[in-house]
Amino acid sequence: MNEAVKSKEVGWGYHWPVMIIVIIASVLNWWIGHLVFTRVSICGIEWLDIVGTYLWALWWVFAFVVWGYWPFTRIKNLSSRGIVILGSAWFLGVLFWYLASKIVDLGTYGFPILAGFFFWIVVTDFSFHLWAKIPLPKKAVLNLLLWYSLVILTIIILPKPGQIPAWWFIPTQWLLGSGIIAYWTKDMKESEAGITFWAINVIVVALIIVFASLIKQYNFSLDNAYLALLSGNSLYFLIWFGAGCSFNWGVFVIFEGLPWRRIKPPTLGAIVGLISVLIISVIATLVSIAITKSIWPPTGPEDINYLLQAFVLVYAGVNWSFAIPLVFPSKRTGFPPTWSWESKV
């Protein structure tokens, strides 16, 4: 891309088409997934098949990005490359979900497997940049061996079902998507930056859990802290979490940190941005529940199918808010970032 075009400041209107595409793709993914998995089942649970396949597909997108888009680097046209990467990621996502169903009970171990894969790829390559200088394909082979080993160890070592609580994902998206962690750690060594990243992450997770507990949407118990961290006590909280994961990275990246990077100092702008996106997630949660409730009206107080469908809908947004900017890098999608918190706006 021409450097003059890359550095040119653009307004919100330039990026809105990408966000609209993300929303449309998410709704279509949710609806097509519903049509497919009500007819063809992999694990026997419709909503889990939908979520599992597109989260595993997204994980493969992450892996290809970590590997510098290898093995697709010979495709010079970025649009063609993006389509091939998406197709490959989806093929592998569905394939690995199917293969996993033949080995373990995905109703029990589906989320622990996916949570482990996302956690370890972020730890090794997005926060500590392990093996960054090792050439490909050697790096890819080492990565896969390490990730699979760590996921298996995690499931074995942690109490059943062996899942790493996923609440770290919202602050991770904020730190990486907003670019604020790069600003805060610019003068640190790589190891120090990685430790700082996770320290901030844990603090933000704790604040979210405390606040959610105060408003009765989360039930944290010291008597069984592990299980409390896994599920909380409210499907509404889980839907909000999915909505937060849908917006928290995509909004910052696609809109290039606007309007929050106009706020100075940068730390204040980033914090206001995080709070704003969390509020947007509440609105998205209410809208998603209203949509699914109108399609699947509950037959009684025990009928929560509409909430499960809302959960599936917001998680579709997680896939596409990441996938579209990552596999179609350009100024319009906002990835890779061409701005910083020190840039004049």
The pLDDT tens digits of the residues spanning 130-162 come to: 888 899 999 999 999 999 999 999 999 998 889
Q: Which amino acid is at 230?
A: L
**Residues in the chain, total:** 345
- The model carries a pTM of 0.92
Strand partners, 335: 330
Sorted by sequence, the CB contacts under 8 Å of residue 335 that are 6+ apart come out as 253, 325, 326, 329
Could you count the other beta carbons within 10 Å of the beta carbon of residue 301?
Answer: 6
Tokens of 4: 């003059």
Domain boundary among 163, 181, 210: 163
The reply to whether 244 and 344 lie within a common domain is: yes
| pLDDT bucket at 345, cuts 50 / 70 / 90 | low
* Same-domain status, 222 and 140: no
> How far apart, in whole angstroms, are the C-alpha atoms of residue 300 and residue 321?
34
Joined together, the tokens standing for residue 345 give 């706006």
Q: Which two tokens stand for residue 90?
A: 């989806």
Bond into 71 cis (ω within 30): yes
Residue 196 CA, chain-centre distance (Å), reads 20
User: Same domain for 32 and 4?
Assistant: yes
Whether residue 330 sits in one domain with residue 251? yes
- What secondary structure letter does DSSP report for 185? T
The domain total for the chain is: 2
CB atoms near residue 254 (< 10 Å): 27
What's CA 184's distance to the chain center, in Å?
Answer: 22
On whether both 191 and 333 belong to a single domain, the answer is yes
Q: Is residue 16 domain-shared with residue 53, that is, in the same domain?
A: no
Question: 65-116 pLDDT, tens per residue?
Answer: 999 999 999 999 999 999 999 999 999 999 999 999 999 999 999 999 999 9
Question: Is there a single domain that holds both residue 69 and residue 192?
Answer: no
Kindly report each contact of residues 42-49 with a partner whose C-beta sits within 8 Å and lies 24 or more positions away, as own/partner: 42/97, 42/98, 42/101, 42/106, 43/97, 43/101, 43/105, 43/106, 43/107, 43/110, 44/107, 45/106, 45/107, 47/308, 47/309, 47/311, 47/312, 48/106, 48/107, 48/110, 49/97
- In the listed set 110, 130, 163, which residue is the last one of a domain according to the structure? 163
pLDDT tens digits, 298-326: 998 889 999 999 999 999 999 999 999 99
Name the residue among 55, 108, 92 with its Cα closest to residue 242.
55
Distance CA(194)–CA(201), nearest Å, equals 11
Q: Quick one: pLDDT at residue 218?
A: 86
Angle between helices 235-247 and 266-295 (to 10 degrees): 130
Res 285: pLDDT = 94
Structure token digits, residue 280? 């947007």
pLDDT tens digit sequence for 241-291: 999 898 889 999 999 999 999 999 999 999 999 999 999 999 999 999 999
Q: Do 123 and 227 share a domain, yes or no?
A: no
Structural domain span for residue 268? 1-40+165-345
In 3-state terms, what secondary structure has residue 335? Answer: strand
Of 144, 147, 145, 151, give the one whose Cα is nearest residue 112: 151
Q: Which of 102, 131, 163 is the last residue of a domain?
A: 163
**Could you tell me if 27 and 55 lie in one domain?**
no
Q: Do 123 and 177 fall into the same domain?
A: no
State the amino acid at position 286 in one-letter form: L
Domain shared by 22 and 58, yes or no: no
Is the domain of 28 the same as that of 57? no
Report pLDDT digits (tens) over 115-125: 999 999 999 99
296, 7 in Cβ contact below 8 A?
Answer: no
User: Dihedral, CA atoms, 323, 24, 95, 138, nearest 10 degrees?
Assistant: -10
